[in-house]
Amino acid sequence: MAQDRPAPPPPLALPTAQAVKAWPASEARQGAAVDAEHFYAVVNSRIGKYRKSDGAKVAEWVGDRIAIRHLNSCIVEGRELVCANSNFPEIPMASSVEIFDAANLKHLRSIPLGIRDGSLTVIERRQGRWWAIFANYDAPRSHLGRTHRDTKIVLLDDDWSEVGGYALPDSVLARLAPHSISGGSFGPDGLLYLTGHDAPEMYVVRIPRQGPLLEHVATIPVPFEGQAWAWDRSAVRMIYAIRRRAGEVVVVDVPDMAFPPEVSAPM
């Protein structure tokens, strides 16, 4: 006889993340990236590079709007700015990874991922793998009957071949409709932090010890409306995000994860 699946423990409710500083940036419509000295604002086929110290713009890249249609998120990986691109909202959904010189924003190379089951919104390297998030949406942006529940995390090797993946828990999926995951990155604690398209909240998930389903361990209210962001690896629990309506990049202090005795810390 089939048994009901036990319900997972509810996610912790953490204090609100606090905005520390904000800088105007005309490209602050899709996402932000950051390194030790600069931050980057991203919108579709444009990237702006700004100094952290005074918010001054020091470089920009403007791409071919046909070839680079929808840059969504970027991360700084060594001396390179690595960005997730897709043809959203066109169908079938096709994606690529676009790589730039972080120093001068010169475009270096493109990795075409072709048609996939979703639009690439996040790409990040961790422990020898590329972690990619492929977003799906409800109608009228759906394709082949997919919905936001078909959003998935895929692991890719250095040849960009799929080698694994994870599914999102119901408690996160319920917060996304009709959109999807727009931002995500691993925190200094080894947990994966995710944001949707427009909700001012961040979902903290843990990689499971067994099985394909991510574990939703906490939700954090944040002072920005979703989309893509990045950890400042030169600071302690700081991220750079965007406020679309204000057209600005915001620096946010993210509260630390304090696990109660009944909740195990990440692996």
Q: Tell the residue number behind the tokens 């915001």, with chain if given.
A: 250
Is there a contact between 225 and 192 (Cβ–Cβ < 8 Å)?
no
Residue 179: the pLDDT is 86
The first and second tokens of residue 35, run together, are 């390194």
- Going by C-alpha positions, the residue among 196, 192, 115 that lies closest to residue 151 is 196
The mean of the pLDDT values for the chain is: 92
pTM of the model: 0.92
Please, which residues bridge with residue 5 across strands? none
Measure the CA–CA gap between 181 and 148, rounded to whole angstroms. 9
Residue 30: the pLDDT is 96
Give the residue with greater pLDDT, 90 vs 120: 120
Per-residue pLDDT of 21-31, as tens digits, reads 999 999 999 99
Residue 13: the pLDDT is 83
**pLDDT of 9 above 70:** yes
Average pLDDT over residues 156-181: 94
Average pLDDT over residues 198-210: 95
- Going by C-alpha positions, the residue among 116, 121, 111 that lies closest to residue 91 is 116
Eight-class DSSP state of 44: B
Residue 267: the pLDDT is 44
**pLDDT of 202 above 60:** yes
Average pLDDT over residues 66-89: 95
Residue 41: the pLDDT is 98
**pLDDT of 139 above 80:** no
**pLDDT of 263 above 50:** no
Share of the chain above pLDDT 90, in %: 78
Please, which residues bridge with residue 204 across strands? 193, 218
**pLDDT of 12 above 90:** no
Residue 145 confidence class, pLDDT cut points 50, 70, 90? low
The first and second tokens of residue 199, run together, are 């909700």
Residue 56 confidence class, pLDDT cut points 50, 70, 90? very high
Amino acid code (one letter) for 125: R
Can you give the C-alpha Rg of the chain in angstroms?
18
Report all structural domains of the chain as residue ranges with CATH numbers, in order of start.
12-253 (2.120.10.30)
Q: Tell the residue number behind the tokens 């690529």, with chain if given.
A: 96
Return phi, psi of residue 266, to 5°: -65, 160
Residue 261: the pLDDT is 39
Residue 10: the pLDDT is 85
Residue 140: the pLDDT is 66
